[in-house]
A = this chain, B = another copy of it.
Amino acid sequence: MQFDCGSFFKAVSDGTRIKIMKLLYGKEMCVSEICTHFKMKQPSISHHLSILKQAKIVTDRKDGKEVYYSLNKCCVSSCCQDFAGMFKNGDKKE
């Protein structure tokens, strides 16, 4: 399995992180730009980003002083698909 569904579901069980994912759905963003959408402090955002990164939900790239994060969309769909597959309903007609 390419992605760890365990860390995936822990990562997406938090509202702040879901909101970050929504922000990154449209475009990549640097940390300070992400911060402007929240009341919490920058280190907290960095912490959430590191959890998302560990779960491979986001990737990062450095550009000068900034670090840009972007959403790894295929991780989201893969994990959801794998998980749903484990609990597939066999009663429905295919």
Contacts and interface: CB of A to CB of B under 8 A. Distances in A.
Interface of A: 6, 9-10, 12-13, 15, 18, 21-22, 25, 71, 73-74, 76-77, 80-81, 83-84, 86-89, 91
Protomer copies: 2
A8 to B, nearest CB: 9
Majority secondary structure, A binding face? helix
Contacts of A73: 87-89, 91
A72 to B, nearest CB: 9
Contacts of A10: 13
B71 A76 contact: no
A28 to B, nearest CB: 14
A14 to B, nearest CB: 9
